[in-house]
Structure 1
Amino acid sequence: MMYRKIMVPVDESAAAKRALQEAIMLAKLCHSVIRVVNVVDLAQFSWGGVGAMPSEEVRKAVNAAGEKGVREAQALLEQSSLQYEIAVIESAGDKIADLLIREATEHHVDLVVMGTHGFSGFMHVLMGSVAEGVLRQSDIPVMLLRVREDN
């Protein structure tokens, strides 16, 4: 099966960068489109509740966070000469895994490529795992790339 569209959730982590690099290699082989997705959690802007800030200020902060999350990804994609799409998704307390699965389904993604930190034991229980949530719930194939960021 050829992958027509590959989705890569990105943030500013080494794990996300590694996942994007792998997706780019695969997309070149399959002549795929890459869809980069960055989830911006609105909770990080709601010190006194989102309603406490003027909506225009919230919007600017969300846009800045989204742009920062995709800037490096866009630079890599431009160098690759692949077709790509970029989306910034706003989360208002939603489970990020659910948002990613919805995004993949709505945009007819054939493969999701994600980096993971590979936490285990207590840290895994404490931190949870977006990658694990996507893997458990998705009907779309998921490629996980484990990256240790403790170098």
Structure 2
Amino acid sequence: MYQRILVPVDDSDTSAAAVKEATRFACEQRAVIRLVHVIDLAQFAWSANEFLDVPQLQEALRNSGKLLLERHAEALREAGLTPEQELLEAWGGNLAHTIVEDAGKWNAQLIVMGTHGFGGLTHLLLGSVAEGVMRATPVPVLLVRTPAHGGK
């Protein structure tokens, strides 16, 4: 049913759970998985702080993102899959928009992503990339949550 599955990843437990769920789908349906990680290169660029080496920090973000993608890709390879990987760069923009744009260019048929499920004030302050993706994409989205920490 779904032959092209896009999985946005970060360094969270919910992201790892989403990769696990996407792996199950891909193995059952012989699908291709594309892992993407979005970095915002503008997060340090706004600062005129003379103590920050902005290009060095941006390169560190790129390197960290590549390592993260490789770690998730290794888990997929262990399951017998051959994932694609892409580090996406945003400049102070909406991360959800960057994910949706990539899903369209890649012709994704399903987006599988983790969500922290924050509500209330935390959601208001932090927003939700998953919610932004759901609102902006015509592609079906499967959201994966992990149990709340602390057994609650």
- CA–CA distance in structure 2, aligned partners of residues 43 and 149 of structure 1: 31
Letter in 2 for 1:126: L
Could you tell me which residue of structure 1 aligns to residue 83 of structure 2?
84
Letter in 2 for 1:30: Q
After TM superposition, the structure 1 = structure 2 runs for residues 40-55 of structure 1, keeping only pairs within 5 Å, are 40-46=39-45, 48=47, 53=53, 55=55
After TM superposition, the structure 1 = structure 2 runs for residues 58-77 of structure 1, keeping only pairs within 5 Å, are 60-77=59-76
Could you tell me which residue of structure 2 aligns to residue 99 of structure 1?
98
- CA–CA distance in structure 1, aligned partners of residues 41 and 64 of structure 2: 10
Contact 1:14 1:149 in 2 (8 A): no
- CA–CA distance in structure 1, aligned partners of residues 136 and 147 of structure 2: 24
- CA–CA distance in structure 2, aligned partners of residues 61 and 47 of structure 1: 17
| Change in CA separation of 1:106 and 1:125 when aligned onto 2, cut-off 3 Å | same
What are the superposed Cα offsets for residues 8-61 of structure 1, whole Å, 9 maximum, x if unpaired?
000110000000000000000110000000011113443636xx8575x35632
Shift of 1:149: 5.1
Could you tell me which residue of structure 1 aligns to residue 25 of structure 2?
26
- CA–CA distance in structure 2, aligned partners of residues 129 and 42 of structure 1: 19
Shift of 1:122: 1.2
TM-score (norm 1): 0.88
- CA–CA distance in structure 2, aligned partners of residues 45 and 65 of structure 1: 15
Letter in 2 for 1:72: R
How much identity, in percent, do the aligned residues show? 37
Contact 1:34 1:84 in 2 (8 A): yes
Could you tell me which residue of structure 2 aligns to residue 13 of structure 1?
12
Shift of 1:83: 2.5
- Displaced runs of 4 or more, over 4 A: 52-55
- CA–CA distance in structure 2, aligned partners of residues 74 and 23 of structure 1: 12
- CA–CA distance in structure 2, aligned partners of residues 59 and 44 of structure 1: 9
Shift of 1:71: 2.9
Q: Secondary structure at the match of 1:122?
A: helix
- CA–CA distance in structure 2, aligned partners of residues 82 and 144 of structure 1: 21
Could you tell me which residue of structure 2 aligns to residue 138 of structure 1?
137
| Change in CA separation of 1:59 and 1:146 when aligned onto 2, cut-off 3 Å | closer
Letter in 1 for 2:83: Y
Q: Which 5+ residue runs of structure 2 have no aligned equivalent? A: none
TM-score (norm 2): 0.88
